[in-house]
Structure 1
Amino acid sequence: MKKLKKSTTNARRDFLKKSAIGGMGLAFSFSAKSYANILGANDRVNFAVIGINGRGQALTHAIADSKNTSLGYLCDVDTRAMEKGIQLFSERTGKKPKTEEDFRKLLEIKDVDAIAIATPDHLHAPMAIAGVAAGKHVYVEKPCCHNPQEGEWLVEAQKKHGKVVQMGNQQRSAPTSIQAMLDIQEGLIGEVYFGKAWYSNKRGTIGTGKKVATPEWLNWDLWQGPAPRRDFQDIWVHYNWHWFWHWGTGEINNNGTHEIDICRWALGVKYPTKVTSNGGRYHFDDDWEFYDTQVANFEFEGGKMITWEGKSCNPSKYHNRGRGATIHGTKGTILLDRNIYIAWDLDGNKLKEITENDASATTDTVGRGSLDVKHMSNFLDAIREGKQQNSPIDEGYKSNLLCHLGNISQKVGRNLLIDPNTGKILGDGEAMQMWGRTYEKGWEPRY
């Protein structure tokens, strides 16, 4: 099995210089305001991490492992998580970060250059929007938005304030995936027309929630943030919020975003023309509101299609992988995940196999790995030197939008026709009502 070599061909160096995004026709350019915000190449970037559980731990490690960075602040509404975060970072660096419970106060601190957001989904876009409006660069975990409207606002806010905003779809920075995009561009598997993405896990039942007193370690009001207020239930915090419409975005946004994004990148497509989704909560009878089984189809102009299959509670695999994507063309197929790239011709003969030098986790709730550092380093290069991002927020939003459209199609129970120029739903007022959400008074995003 071949390892990705550190030395590369001139063609690949040129390709990386232009970036894989530009090579696939998904160009990103900096505005004059963006250039004005670029730091010096040797400037230290001072971070604050918001949300210390799960992915927040992975981002803390990624920041610590990135060159010329400091982690000055941790922010969380759970005092237990804050204590763990302090211990984790102190063990890694020998330094004790400062802490802040309310992210809004954090944004007022002038020596914070960038924020990394790893909170529940309903807080991602509002925090990111507030961050750029406060003059901070933003690394936001996927999904970048709880609903399509927030994604549009975030893209607009980034353009207005000129700050660097990167979504945590870290496979965009995987050398193996970047190489695959070059090979696709050069015709290795012919004209590409179909991407199949999948995710399989063995999640258990979440049971039935009960109203209980809010734990003393949790600031429930700040946890809810922009979401209309509800009484605390014992099954929501800290992970099962994913499966409730009020807070989360379902498995397709929680995990499908990654592989759907890879397929969209490989096919060079933006907005679909038609979206169809089928499935349900089949495995358990409990309070889970989204779907443990979902198949979403996205059709694009030019005869191209992406399919995502999610099985949250059944770990059966494809190609012996719990998650991944296959890209199909007129001359062959490419398999991609976070750790490997394999290509075959139409007769099943292997054309290429390359593995990442360091592995990344795939189906746990933290997902830590070398790609976190690569993706964070790309974010930092954009801040310091104006280098092209691997995942500018306008591209990240397009992939998240596909996931939201899949959920909306599933919810209304019919196909959605989409404007391929804007991504907006056509001729379906009921479906478009799900484009945004209502907000707790005083929490509406502003930029």
Structure 2
Amino acid sequence: MSAFETLDQLYIAILSSAPRQSQLIQILCAVVHFQLTVGDIDQLFGLEEGETRLLLRALHSVLNVPPDDKDKIFSHHASFVEFLGNLDRSSNFCVGTLDCQRSLALSLLQFYAGPFERSELHVFRHLISFIVSLPPSAELFPLIGSINPEYIFDGAANLYNGELASIASWLKKSPSTPTDVIQLWEDYVFIFDLFIEGRLPKGLSVRHVVSPSPELVRVLVSLQVLFHPLEKLPATLDLTWTDLRTTLCSLRPKLVGDIHALPICQPQAAHSWAARDLALHLIRKMVKNHIDTKVNSVAAPHAVLLYSGHSFFSTLEAYTRSQYDLGRDISLLVRLSPPCLVLYRELWSIPPSVIWSSRPSGYKLIHHVSKWLESFPDSTMELITFWKQAADPAPWHLSPFNTGPIFWEDQWCLRVKDYNAMIARLHLPSNLRFPL
């Protein structure tokens, strides 16, 4: 008779009393291998809110399921976890078998292949470690290739380059891994190293591009001048993740030794005109937000897309914050642009109420647009006068964090210097740098 037989029989009796056995085993496997809450499990497995709590109710004698959905589930006894991991003892309830672990990996990958959901769920980096601990499997490859990139590049995921590289290395262990999946993850590693960690690991290089595409310049300006995190660029620039990956990986050598200067077959576009085009794009987006919200206060897609996941924002706060961000970005992009009547006319299309809907964005816009207008052969300040006349007469107070024009100029110079430094680091043509 085994020393654990009595205890094992007790555990089996408890587990057998719980409903939906196959789903229960998946949940227990997740609890053992990941530190999860009831809310996490509901979300990961697509269950109704509170459903996990009902499933685990019969296990109250072996599992501590806190009343708060945000607190982690844990075992009352270490012996219960040991029992679940031992096939000889737990039999059909074992969570340590390869089949059970692979099934869990498939379930979690299905979640991360779906639409991005912002939450306090931080399982993704642990999922990577979990996957690479398993033997490569053809079942997993398609879903690994379908992971939503928003989860990979989300700052809250707290990933580092070694974790992404470990997936790429793991994929290469199997001769049956589709080459496009390997290529995809190698691209992710390259992008993460270059634009998240800001460096190139030993052995990697960038391609010396003679004629960068306008798309690449717009992305680089968004990253370094506007300080947009990578995960927000598709929404800001109306790009798909595939478009963004293709654009950024145009810097990546395709063959060993392919680091000499090679032109990309795209029309030559000056960096200042790329900034102008992006300014036009954001002005039209800002105006559209204003028109949309006149019809429906929750209709502004930019606001909804960027901020609806933040529970601390109300609908109005999300809209106001979105318009503030757009105003700030437009002010910087206009400052980078050459004198252009098309851009000047487009600035007149912004309703004054939009400009002053979120201060100090309006003041920043006036500051940088005024500087830009000085570059015109026949400088006119009619637009600035029009905006100022529409300003709220209530005084706006400076703060230690926002000291007005002096602060804006210092911030402007710093961002342009950072952008120029990035151009040098990427071995891009020096004529892409902005003058100070």
TM-score (norm: length of structure 2):
0.26
Q: Which has the larger radius of gyration?
A: 2
More strand by share: 1
1 or 2, which has the higher helix percentage?
2
